Amino acid sequence: MIANVPLPMPVVFYRTGRGVAVVRDWLRELDPPDRNAIGLDLMRIQFRWPVGMRLCRPMGDGLWEVRSELPSRRIARILFCVLARRIVILHGFVKKTRATPDAELALARRRRRELEE
């Protein structure tokens, strides 16, 4: 028996009021190699939380960003929060500018507030 091995934190996807997991659906639309790269990054966070820079960075207000470099030579971001010892995936997008767009952050913050209510 292995002692002192931390258990992975569960990863759950945000669902709309109608039960649609919008980020999971977005991931399924990506090419398989890109989807796998993001999945590996999420797994690293799940098994090693808390994780620092290069892979994960705080965005303020309890929001975190997963920074994924995709095989398609694009950059993806997954925005998440940690609630009740769960990693809640709130939003995902392919980055087109250097800075994370305010609209993307606002959407993730709105979803986080909705979950907390």
- The tens digit of pLDDT for each residue in 34-47 reads 999 999 999 999 99
pLDDT digits (tens, 9 = 90+) for 71-101: 999 999 999 999 999 999 999 999 988 888 9
Contacts of 111 (CB under 8 A, 6+ apart): 14, 90, 91
* Integer Cα distance of 38 and 40 in angstroms: 5
DSSP per residue over 59-101, as a string? EETTEEEEEEE-TTS-EEEEEEEEETTEEEEEEEEEE-SSSPP
Q: Which fold has domain 11-112?
A: YaeB-like fold (3.30.2310)
Any idea where the domains of the chain sit in the sequence?
A: 11-112
Token output for 74: 């694009």
Q: What is the pLDDT of residues 30-77, one digit of tens each?
A: 999 999 999 999 999 999 888 888 899 999 999 999 999 999 999 999
